[in-house]
Structure 1
Amino acid sequence: MNYKGYSTGIWVFGKTPDRFCVSGYKVDRSIEKSLDRIASVPELTGVMMHYPQPINENNINNIKKMLQDRGLKLASCDVDLFSDPIFNCGSLMSENNTLRKKAIEYSKKAMDIAEYLGARDMNLWPGQDGFDYPFQINYSVQWDLLITSLTEIANYNPRVNLSLEYKLREPRTHSTIYSSGVALYLAHKTGCSNVGVTLDLGHSFNCKESPANVLALLDKFNKLFILHLNDNYRDWDDDMAVGTVHFWETIEFIYYLNISKYDGWLGLDIFPYREDAAEVCDFSIKNIQTMLKIVNRINLNQLHRIQKEANAIEAIKYIQSLM
Structure 2
Amino acid sequence: MKSKGFSTGIWVFGATPDRFCVTGYKSGGNIEESLDRIAAVPNLTGVMMHYPQPLNENNVDFVKKALQDRGLKLACCDVDLFSDPIFARGSLMSENSELRKKAIDYSKKAMDIAEYLEAGVMNLWPGQDGFDYPFQINYVAQWNLMVEALIEIAQHNPRVRLSLEYKLREPRTHSTIYSSGTALYLSHATGCSNVGVTVDLGHSFNCKESPANVVALLDKFEKLFVLHLNDNYRDWDDDMAVGSVHFWETLEFIYYLNLSSYEGWLGLDIFPYREDSAEACRFSIENIQYMLEVVKKIDLKALHQIQKEANSLEAMRYIGSLL
TM-score by length of 1: 1.00
1: distance between equivalents of 2:238 and 2:120? 28
Q: Secondary structure at the match of 2:262?
A: coil
Which residue number in structure 2 is paired with residue 304 of structure 1?
Answer: 304
Which residue number in structure 1 is paired with residue 128 of structure 2?
Answer: 128
1: distance between equivalents of 2:179 and 2:231? 17
Residue identity opposite 2:303 in structure 1? L
Displacement, 1:43? 0.4
Which residue number in structure 2 is paired with residue 230 of structure 1?
Answer: 230
Equivalent positions of 1:1-323 (< 5 A) are 1-323=1-323
CA-atom RMSD in angstroms: 0.3
Deviation by residue 1:78-123 (Cα, 9 ceiling, x = unmatched): 0000000000000000000000000000000000000000001100
Q: Secondary structure at the match of 2:184?
A: helix
2: distance between equivalents of 1:41 and 1:78? 22
1: distance between equivalents of 2:73 and 2:28? 22
Displacement, 1:266? 0.1
Deviation by residue 1:195-241 (Cα, 9 ceiling, x = unmatched): 00000000000000000000000000000000000000000000000
Structure 2 residues not aligned, in runs of 5+: none
Q: Secondary structure at the match of 1:281?
A: helix
Q: Secondary structure at the match of 1:313?
A: helix
Residue identity opposite 1:212 in structure 2? A
Deviation by residue 1:146-185 (Cα, 9 ceiling, x = unmatched): 0000000000000000000000000000000000000000
2: distance between equivalents of 1:319 and 1:110? 42
1: distance between equivalents of 2:35 and 2:269? 16
Structure 1 residues not aligned, in runs of 5+: none
Identity of aligned residues (%): 79
2: distance between equivalents of 1:129 and 1:70? 36
After TM superposition, which residue ranges in structure 1, 4 or more long, deviate above 6 angstroms?
A: none
Displacement, 1:28? 1.7
Q: Secondary structure at the match of 2:196?
A: strand
Q: Secondary structure at the match of 1:264?
A: coil
Q: Secondary structure at the match of 1:170?
A: coil
Residue identity opposite 1:290 in structure 2? Y
Displacement, 1:259? 0.5
Q: Secondary structure at the match of 2:18?
A: coil
Q: Secondary structure at the match of 2:65?
A: helix
Count of matched residue pairs: 323
Q: Secondary structure at the match of 2:260?
A: coil
1: distance between equivalents of 2:240 and 2:24? 17
1: distance between equivalents of 2:23 and 2:283? 26
Residue identity opposite 2:189 in structure 1? K
